[in-house]
């Protein structure tokens, strides 16, 4: 059921500047966060993680989530009403592995429905929901992922042109394997580096598999943001540079430059030089997920809680609060100019080695149907993105996170990122209600055409 809510455009007197012709506008979701239908796929590491008491703050699971698996027709209708060019969704590896073949049948139907609605399908082939029994510490998982990619491309490649290999390998490494606050819940700290390497290797193997299937429009969705030193003191500058190396350069430079930043390659497993030739398979565009900058200083010798994550005292840096900025309901600072900064920094740092950029995620968590704060957030970030375009960055698209309120990983259902409200209090109905931001984004898209 979809309940309609009308609203007028936010700021007709000061419209968003026009983006280049052919600019791709879309919204994003991920399979585990919205699909539900847990009995119609194999288990994932997230199923095991959420079954452990205390892992998810509200004690919930994604067993039903938004029930997109059964209600995808409603959600495609919302996409059509929004007027987006493209829909970024993820293909659940555990669902594709399900023995009766129904998983691929589902994505077949979804892609057909999207095409019929005039919405371009943009699948992400891994968005954190690793099949149970597989492990990113194991090199063989990268090869298995390539097999998965080939199978999906064989089924959907006649209608899908644009592909994304992985979503945010940095966060999956840090939160899931270094700090233990996401699945699979390991606390390995720097011993988690092989997880990063094997995901990057999986990306390169996936690019090869997609090329073999005839794909010509391939990217990755990496999370990036500016790192701001807490002060100009040498210890703070050194800590910030190290954080930038771990969260930005570690995941960009193997792809773009074919090498790890100084000192990191020797910490990776296997024949790193040979692997880098695979990792650096050329992509057609580079996806950036942006939410906020990070302020970093020297270690303070104590645990620090930041953004719902406890940072151990033994880390060689400390994450600090960015003062004087509004924050989202998640407590994340709202810094639109950080989007301009990260894009222009990458443009200057990598030059012609940086392919065209697509913003594959950008969004915020706010309560309420009349979500004026989300409208202000999107308005500010689109203007910041346009400034990056004016500065010479080749930006080809922008995807809002997210279409629907969803299962927000370890936060459960307490954080609402959607342009569309989902009534989780009534799991039988799961009524979708477009928010004010949905209408604002729809009207902004009309103004761009």
Enumerate the active-site residues: 168, 361
Q: Show Cβ contacts of residue 63 under 8 Å, excluding neighbours closer than 6 positions.
A: 36, 38
| Closest CA relative to residue 110, chosen from 204, 29, 218 | 29
**Cis check: omega of the bond before 184, within 30 degrees of 0:** yes
How far apart are the C-alpha atoms of 390 and 392, rounded to whole Å? 5
How far apart are the C-alpha atoms of 29 and 44, rounded to whole Å? 18
Q: Which residues of 25-57 are buried (b: 16+ CB within 10 A; e: fewer)?
A: bbbbbbbbbbbbbbeebbebbbbebbeeeebbe
Phi-psi category of residue 307: left, alpha or beta, with phi > 0 → left and psi -120 to 50 → alpha? left
* Residue 39 · residue 398 · CB < 8 Å: no
Neighbours of 286 (CB within 10 A): 24
Q: What angle do CA 425, 402, 14 make, to 5 degrees?
A: 120
How far apart are the C-alpha atoms of 154 and 432, rounded to whole Å? 33
């Amino acid at each position: 059921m979809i309940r309609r809510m009308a609203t007028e455009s936010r700021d007709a007197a000061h419209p968003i500047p026009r983006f280049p012709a052919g600019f791709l506008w879309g919204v994003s979701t991920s399979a585990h966060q919205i699909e539900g239908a847990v009995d119609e796929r194999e288990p994932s590491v997230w199923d095991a993680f959420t079954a452990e008491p205390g892992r998810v703050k509200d004690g919930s699971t994604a067993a039903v989530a938004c029930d997109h698996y059964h209600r995808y027709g409603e959600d495609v209708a919302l996409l059509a009403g929004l007027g987006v060019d493209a829909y970024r969704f993820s293909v659940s590896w555990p669902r594709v592995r399900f023995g009766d073949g129904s998983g691929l049948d589902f994505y077949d139907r979804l892609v057909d429905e999207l095409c019929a609605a005039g919405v371009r399908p943009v699948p992400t082939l891994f968005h954190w929901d690793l099949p149970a029994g597989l492990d990113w510490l194991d090199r063989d998982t990268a090869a298995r992922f390539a097999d998965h990619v080939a199978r999906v491309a064989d089924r959907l490649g006649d209608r899908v042109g644009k592909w994304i290999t992985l979503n945010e390998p940095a966060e999956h490494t840090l939160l899931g394997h270094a700090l233990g606050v996401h699945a699979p819940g390991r606390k390995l700290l720097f011993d988690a580096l092989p997880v990063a390497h094997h995901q990057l290797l999986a990306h390169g193997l996936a690019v090869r598999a997609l090329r073999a299937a005839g794909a010509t429009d391939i990217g990755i969705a990496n999370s990036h943001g500016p790192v701001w030193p807490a002060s100009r003191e040498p210890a703070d500058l050194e800590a910030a540079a190290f954080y930038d190396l771990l969260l930005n350069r570690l995941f960009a430079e193997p792809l773009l430059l074919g090498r790890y930043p100084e000192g990191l390659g020797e910490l990776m497993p296997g024949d790193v030089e040979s692997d880098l030739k695979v990792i650096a398979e050329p992509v057609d565009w580079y996806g950036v997920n942006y939410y906020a900058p990070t302020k970093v200083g020297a270690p303070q010798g104590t645990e620090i809680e930041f953004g719902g994550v406890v940072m151990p005292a033994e880390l060689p840096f400390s994450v600090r609060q960015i003062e004087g900025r509004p924050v989202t309901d998640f407590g994340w600072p709202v810094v639109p100019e950080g989007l301009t900064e990260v894009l222009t920094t990458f443009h200057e740092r990598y030059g012609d080695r940086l392919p065209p950029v697509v913003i594959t995620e950008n969004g915020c968590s706010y309560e309420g149907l009349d979500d004026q704060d989300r409208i202000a957030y999107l308005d500010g970030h689109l203007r910041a993105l346009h400034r990056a375009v004016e500065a010479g960055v080749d930006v080809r698209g922008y995807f809002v996170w997210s279409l629907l309120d969803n299962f927000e990983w370890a936060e459960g259902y307490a954080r609402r990122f959607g342009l569309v409200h989902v009534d989780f209090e009534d799991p039988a109905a799961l009524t979708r209600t477009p928010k004010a931001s949905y209408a604002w984004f729809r009207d902004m898209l009309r103004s761009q055409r």
